[in-house]
Structure 1
Amino acid sequence: MKSVSPLEVGAPIPDVCGVDQDGQTVKLKEISQKGIVLFYFYPKADTPGCTREACNFRDNYPMLINHGIKIFGISMDNQEAQKKFKEKYNLPFPLLADPEGKIVDQFGVTKRNGHASRQSFLAKDGKIVWRNLKVNPDNHVQEVLEVLKKLKENTPQNP
């Protein structure tokens, strides 16, 4: 199968559905139409880097939601693994299970050994406004907060 390029800044959010840890269907394009949404991809639930990253989002969640952001963690784990991960660490945001890699493929996220790479896409009003294709789990939240502040400060001009 041919590798797809990651979504570029300005690209629309793909019309793809995922299932969260509770089995609820989430339509990514629909939820990204209004406001700011972070779709962050991580390799595997309950592994050291992914746990640090998720807990960092959890610990900074009040500050993040003050910026009006919605957060969705996405990995190729199954629904049960996502549910255990969310409950074990009291994560306040949904985790999408993508065992077939449909969402991963639609976003053009690289796969390694059957896992999604650690990549992140920030959408505003249905379009990608920022992306990081080499996320560091230890400073991911700070990076997202900086981008959110810039988005608030200067509303982007239409090209």
Structure 2
Amino acid sequence: MKIGDKIPEILGTDQNGEPVKAEQFRGKKLALYFYPKDNTPGCTAQACSLRDGYKDLRKAGYEIVGVSVDSEKSHRKFIEKFSLPFPLIADSDKKLVEQFGVWQEKSMMGKKFMGTVRTTFLIDENGIIRDKIEGRGVDTKNHAEQILENMETGRD
């Protein structure tokens, strides 16, 4: 998926097995963020930044939804442990990460493997992708502020 594309209607299921659909966010902006793994340092910093900036993001009209290939059970524990106020989609079949093009070859210490490239898609009130922040461009410790700054610069 790229800027200008409409997001799919069915996004997946959340930590409680409930369906998450694009129609739930009509009339609101959506920051749909893909991250590699629950309870890892960068992913925890990013989730906590979004948690800490949640009120400001909501005031700016944004809903937040996280996505990783972890299980619903892993997501429930992650949400509980860090008091996350937003849903996490359990994309264990990798359908959404592949659809959005964030399931890519990565390498760590010389080893190549497939994994999720950290990416946040900023989606408008009509379900159209307006911008994305990806890879090393994502500031995990200040991600909420990064989304709000992106909005202020008029790129959304």
Q: Which TM class, normalised by the smaller chain length?
A: 0.7 to 0.9
Deviations 1:77-125 (A, max 9, x none): 0110001000110000001100111111111113344531101101002
Tell me the distance in 1 between the aligned counterparts of 2:123 and 2:17: 24
The residue number in structure 2 matching 1:128 is 129
**What's the Cα RMSD here?**
1.8
TM-score normalised to the size of structure 2?
0.86
Please identify which structure carries the higher strand content.
2
**Is the 8 Å Cα contact of residues 103 and 114 (structure 2) preserved in structure 1?**
no
Identity between Structure 1 and Structure 2 (%) = 40
Tell me the distance in 2 between the aligned counterparts of 1:15 and 1:105: 15
The residue number in structure 1 matching 2:89 is 96
Which runs of structure 2 are paired with 1:5-24 in the superposition (5 Å)?
A: 7-24=1-18
The residue number in structure 1 matching 2:144 is 141
**Is the 8 Å Cα contact of residues 64 and 86 (structure 2) preserved in structure 1?**
yes
**Is the 8 Å Cα contact of residues 44 and 50 (structure 1) preserved in structure 2?**
yes
**Is the 8 Å Cα contact of residues 39 and 73 (structure 1) preserved in structure 2?**
yes
The residue number in structure 2 matching 1:45 is 38
Tell me the distance in 2 between the aligned counterparts of 1:15 and 1:102: 13
**Is the 8 Å Cα contact of residues 75 and 115 (structure 1) preserved in structure 2?**
no
Offset of 1:14 from its aligned partner? Answer: 2.0
Tell me the distance in 2 between the aligned counterparts of 1:131 and 1:38: 9
Where structure 2 has 5 or more consecutive residues not aligned to the other structure, the ranges are 107-112
Tell me the distance in 1 between the aligned counterparts of 2:98 and 2:23: 18
For residue 138 of structure 1, give the secondary structure of its aligned residue in structure 2.
helix
The residue number in structure 2 matching 1:4 is none
The residue number in structure 2 matching 1:69 is 62
Tell me the distance in 1 between the aligned counterparts of 2:94 and 2:77: 20
Where structure 1 has 5 or more consecutive residues not aligned to the other structure, the ranges are 1-6
**Is the 8 Å Cα contact of residues 14 and 72 (structure 2) preserved in structure 1?**
yes
For residue 65 of structure 1, give the secondary structure of its aligned residue in structure 2.
helix
Offset of 1:32 from its aligned partner? Answer: 4.0
TM-score normalised to the size of structure 1?
0.84
**Is the 8 Å Cα contact of residues 34 and 119 (structure 2) preserved in structure 1?**
yes
